[in-house]
Amino acid sequence: MPTEVVLFYILIRLLSVGEGVGAYPTKRNPLIQPKLNTLEGHDSRRRSSIGIIPETVEDLQQNPGISDLDIFKYEEMKLATKHFRRDQVLGEGGFGIVYKGVIDEQVRPGYKTTYVAIKELDPEGLQGDREWLAEMNYLGQLRHPNLVKLIGYCCEDEHRLLVYEYMASGSLEKHLFPSEYLISMRVHVGMCATLTWSRRMKVALDAARGLAFLHGAEMPVIYRDFKTSNILLDADFNAKLSDFGLAKDGPIGDQTHVSTRVLGTYGYAAPEYVMTGHLTARSDVYAFGVVLLEMLIGRRAIDKTRPSREYNLVEWARPLLTHDKKLFKILDPRLEGQYSSKIIVKVASLAYQCLSQNPKGRPLMSQVVEILEALQPQGKDMISL
């Protein structure tokens, strides 16, 4: 295909604005997320501490014991979700539906009662076996306090389900943009807690630790779809990364980047990745900067309800982050009286660096963690969680 056609195609896709889907999301459209049946870009057999990683669903079905994850029958999934009742739905998106469930003695004799979130892949949805298997592989290998725990899976006939720990407070998206979430999901306002400045800083640190862990792993992983709907919160508002369907092995050895098709969510994807397909850990850093900006300003990365010049949050707000007077005028008004002005300026400076057009100008996630640890509210700056 001629270069001009490829670039035109990318630009056309960029005009189709929408957000991707997380573990408990609202229904939104991804930037580019084709449905495939194989693990594009992965080593054919990737070794880890849990053994050989299956490349295809057929591999998994033929060798179910290669993972230490629990393997569930579809009938057990039906029992756990009360036959997939609508009042058990936590979220819905391009992959299918996420249900709240309980696995106990009635579901599987001898199983300790466990509240779970069960994600069922829609065979007609935007994601396919590739994304489902990628998520199972990554979360099956990786364990960290700031990654959502994958408990098990069901891969029976045409059924594809993943079973996670239940994150009682839902997504960061739900709490940061409650009015939109309430309309789309038709839930009561009481389900969305106010995100205080202290909470936002804690969530930012937790999420940064999750990304830093992925980037610093023995075999580095690029998350590739960091956004508010993919950051889940437990009952104590500890944040964990979810939805690894687009995750990809990072560059190793002398490699500077991984070349791949453009996947992710418009508004969060790093500009160099969108234009060249070159993916690095600093692509995740850019997306982190977008989310940090959303938490500072209280607006979505892309918001078509705003005046045209404010439509793209990064383009509008980033130039204002280094001007204190302008910065304080655009801060989320819900945060008034909760923060130290000195700390706000430093957080804004961090967001500015993460959003650098030059990937090399962005900090490493390990550096972001160090900065955020030093900026956590303490003493008189601490607002009740």
Write out the two tokens for 66. 């290669």
Write out the two tokens for 375. 């900026």
pLDDT of res. 54: 76
* Dist. CA 87–CA 367, nearest whole Å: 43
Confidence tier at 64 by pLDDT (50, 70, 90): low
The average pLDDT across 170-174 equals 94
Q: Which residues fall in the annotated binding site?
A: 119
Which residues are identified as catalytic?
A: 225
* Dist. CA 249–CA 355, nearest whole Å: 23
CB atoms within 10 A of CB 27: 13
Encode pLDDT of 77-126 as tens digits. 999 999 999 999 998 876 789 999 999 999 999 999 999 999 999 887 66
Average pLDDT, the chain: 83
This prediction's pTM: 0.83
Provide the percentage of residues in the chain whose pLDDT is more than 90.
Answer: 60
Does residue 65 have a pLDDT over 70?
no
Strand partners, 117: 100, 164
pLDDT of res. 36: 37
Task: Give the 3-state secondary structure of residue 233.
Answer: strand
The average pLDDT across 222-226 equals 95
Provide the percentage of residues in the chain whose pLDDT is more than 70.
Answer: 78
Q: Which residues fall in the annotated binding site for ATP?
A: 119
Burial of 256 (0-12, 13-18, 19+ CB in 10 A): exposed
Could you check whether 18-165 and 170-381 share the same CATH topology?
no
Does residue 179 have a pLDDT over 90?
no
pLDDT of res. 140: 86
Confidence tier at 46 by pLDDT (50, 70, 90): very low
pLDDT of res. 374: 97
pLDDT of res. 314: 98
Does residue 10 have a pLDDT over 70?
no
Candidates 3.30.420.40, 1.10.510.10, 1.10.10.60, 2.60.120.40; correct CATH number of 170-381?
A: 1.10.510.10
Does residue 188 have a pLDDT over 80?
no
pLDDT of res. 129: 81
Does residue 19 have a pLDDT over 60?
no
So where are the chain's domains? 18-165, 170-381
Looking at domain 18-165, its CATH class is: alpha beta
